[in-house]
Amino acid sequence: MNTINWEWARSRILLDPHSTNLNCGSFGPTPIAVFEACTKLRYELASQPMDFFLRTSPSRLAKARTELANYLGHDSKGLIFTTNVSTAINLIANSWRFQPGDAILVTDHEYRAMRWAWERVAQRTGARIITATIPHLASDPQQIIDSIEPFLAPPVRILFFSHVTSPTGLVLPAFDLCSLARQRGISTVVDGAHAVATLNLDLTAIGADCYGGNLHKWLGAPTGSGFLAFQSSFARYLEPLVVSWGYYLGDTDPDSDDIFGSTPHIRRLEFEGTRDPCPWLVVPDAIAFQKSLGPQAIQHRQRSLVTFTRETLQRFSWLVPATPHEEALSGPMIAFQVILPITLDQLRAFLWDHHRIEIGLNQHESLGLLMRISCHFFTTHEEIMQLAAALLDLENRGIA
């Protein structure tokens, strides 16, 4: 593995020098090259929108979709750009034709807003939600499979789960879960919000029926870039969230290339009226930046920083690790249960107001207050030490 100058790599990222960002799991900063490419395109769009939309953007859009599909290991004709993963999951949830009595199986580690999306659909259709409790400190992927498998039976129609869970960064065995569900005749929808650029993704191998993801967290694409990948057999079930041009397919081949940089079917799902497509068009720039550093080198750097974080914060007795250390079950995020008489809002305000530290916080139904640290390649050991100093300050103030 080539030695990477991580200090130089960090200098190529837009970072506020007056704060510490340990929360790119929520919103990731943008590489300078990607920001500049997007800004250049936005100048073109602002100065001559007709030329931009009608003549120059279609080929760029087709290129961006193809490069993203290749990066993810998926067919470009089964992939649409979305604003974010929330849009992708909502599109799936609102497309599904549930009947009264049908069930949607989720885990107790899902992003709460996405659970709400399924709950709303269940309320409208008479379906119901079944929740599988998974071991957050599993030592083997089979333990997670064993916690979900008993529920994979009628009336369950869909298994929805996060590839990498938002509260703790736990990595679920996506391939095995999708394979098991398929054997039982159950469809799979995967929330891959934290998987892109943190795991070695091959969506074809994983075999999910539908897989949504974000590109603005770990890949470094601008805010407003996400995707939904789906199997060709599911294309006929999908309905756009917004009806706009392209809604009616007519007699054309829905999978043939069109003049808009897509196919009739993709345009039907993807086009939501006039919008700024520049975050999508520079996805190839974000991919190129990641590849220039090396995906394996980035992952190795992330894991070493997570290990350093775990070792640095173990001195605090009121922080209980909530993420496994096994490589198959963890990635670039590590979470701790915060056993203190403090609320989420109070802890967030303290870390920001007194130390200018951004961090992920979550109030989990069973695990309580969770503090999640995101370690990307640009994170430094000094920033982790700054967090430790801030937590020591919290102790000295008598809260712990």
Instruction: Indicate the range of 34-38, 172-176, 219-223, 251-255 predicted with least confidence.
Output: 251-255
Q: Is the pLDDT of residue 199 over 60?
A: yes
The answer to whether the beta carbons of residues 112 and 163 sit under 8 Å apart is no
> CB neighbours of 72 closer than 8 A, spacing ≥ 6?
79, 196, 201, 202, 203, 213, 227, 229
Q: With pLDDT > 90 as the criterion, what percentage of the chain qualifies?
A: 95
Cα–Cα dist 68/47, whole Å: 28
* 244 phi/psi in degrees, rounded to 5: -145, -165
Domains belonging to the chain, first-starting first, are 6-30+294-396 (3.90.1150.10), 36-288 (3.40.640.10)
| Local structure of 135: helix, strand or coil | coil
The answer to whether the beta carbons of residues 90 and 118 sit under 8 Å apart is no
Report pLDDT digits (tens) over 107-120. 999 999 999 999 99
Can you tell me the mean pLDDT for 33-53?
98
Q: How far apart are the first and last CA of the chain?
A: 43
Q: Which residues of 310-320 are buried (b: 16+ CB within 10 A; e: fewer)?
A: bebbeebebbe
- State the DSSP code for 54: I
pLDDT at 287: 98
Cα–Cα dist 353/340, whole Å: 19
pLDDT mean across residues, the chain: 96
Ranges of H-type helices in 165-262:
174-183, 203-206
CA dihedral of 302, 305, 307, 313, whole degrees rounded to 10: -140
The answer to whether the beta carbons of residues 224 and 189 sit under 8 Å apart is no
Grade residue 232 by pLDDT with cuts at 50, 70 and 90: confident
Q: Is the pLDDT of residue 316 over 90?
A: yes
Grade residue 2 by pLDDT with cuts at 50, 70 and 90: low
Q: Is the pLDDT of residue 306 over 80?
A: yes
Cα–Cα dist 34/59, whole Å: 19
- State the DSSP code for 170: P
Can you tell me the mean pLDDT for 25-52?
97
Report pLDDT digits (tens) over 235-267. 878 999 999 999 998 888 999 999 999 999 999
Q: With pLDDT > 70 as the criterion, what percentage of the chain qualifies?
A: 99
Cα–Cα dist 269/147, whole Å: 35
